[in-house]
Homo-oligomer: A and B are copies of this chain.
Amino acid sequence: MRLIKSPSLINKELKKRRIKGQGIGFVPTMGALHEGHLSLIRQARRDNDIVVVSIFVNPKQFGPKEDLKKYPRPLSKDLKLCRKEGVDFVFFPKNEDIYPGGFSTYVNVEGLDKFLCAKSRPGHFRGVTTIVAKLLNIIAPDVLYLGQKDIQQAVILQRMVKDLNIPVKVKVMPIVRSKDGLALSSRNAYLNHKERRDALVLSQALKLAVFFINNGASDAKRIILRMRQLIEKRQSVRIDYVEIVDPVTLKPLKKVAGSFLIVLAVWVGKTRLIDNFLRK
């Protein structure tokens, strides 16, 4: 496994492999790798000749009051995990090589970046689309692996790839959960014992909604109300949003039928957690 910091160097190294006809799978991450990331890496390992993982805590996707500084950065543990999973290249760039002085170009997926998480995280998706557009140019992979956990991100990036004719296939991998149902997230590390227990309410609310829908409920407003009631029983939590939306446009659905996406974001103490359920 090679650890490369320079964008131009990794671009050159991967070009050599591409000329030989080797296929490249790419997993972009902010590090603090957990089983969710590993499921992406394992799929990339199965599908491709070369697996590239990037580790970059992208400042452009954090708001001024968000957790950029305290975001976990366990680099040596991350590298050990990558080595164990048979990763070929870890790309670990410096901030100043990604955003040098005078940087001023941004990619915007308009519309989709107005809903859901975008409301409480203005500028977040602009940061995500911009860094991923850059990484796709640097790495030039055949396949990009994303997690369904960050579903809005996945929807927006799929739209970007299509709209800008970026020559990459996108695979969205299922959410990985703890045994008790909590969706894995690097931010779970912020939770104390009580908060960790209260955080279960996200997956429980999703299960409740799916139970209702499987038993014939279709009125989105009523299903959402039941979810909110369940969540609000916990004292340490505060709802950011609970919505049932179209999986492609992210616009709210009135009637739940066919394909749908239930999404929620909830503050547990000072930690904002997200989860979702997708029926295609």
Contact = CB atoms under 8 A, between A and B. Distances in A.
A134 interface: yes
Interface string A1-39: 000000100010000000101000000000000000000
B104 A111 contact: yes
**Majority secondary structure, A binding face:** mixed
A108 B123 CA distance: 14
A106 interface: yes
B104 A107 contact: no
Contact of A138 (B19, B129, B165): B165
Nearest to A111: B104
Interface residues of A, number: 31
Nearest to A140: B167
A57 to B, nearest CB: 18
Nearest to A165: B137
A123 B179 CA distance: 50
Contacts of A19: 19, 21
Given A107-B108, A130-B164, 11 more contacts: A11-B167, A19-B21, A102-B248, A104-B110, A104-B112, A104-B163, A105-B129, A105-B160, A107-B164, A137-B165, A140-B167
Interface of A: 7, 11, 19, 21, 102-112, 129-130, 133-134, 137-138, 140, 159-160, 163-167, 248-249
29 contacts: A7-B165, A11-B165, A11-B167, A19-B19, A19-B21, A102-B159, A102-B248, A102-B249, A103-B163, A104-B110, A104-B111, A104-B163, A105-B107, A105-B108, A105-B109, A105-B110, A105-B129, A106-B107, A106-B108, A106-B110, A107-B108, A108-B108, A133-B164, A134-B163, A134-B164, A134-B165, A137-B165, A138-B165, A140-B167
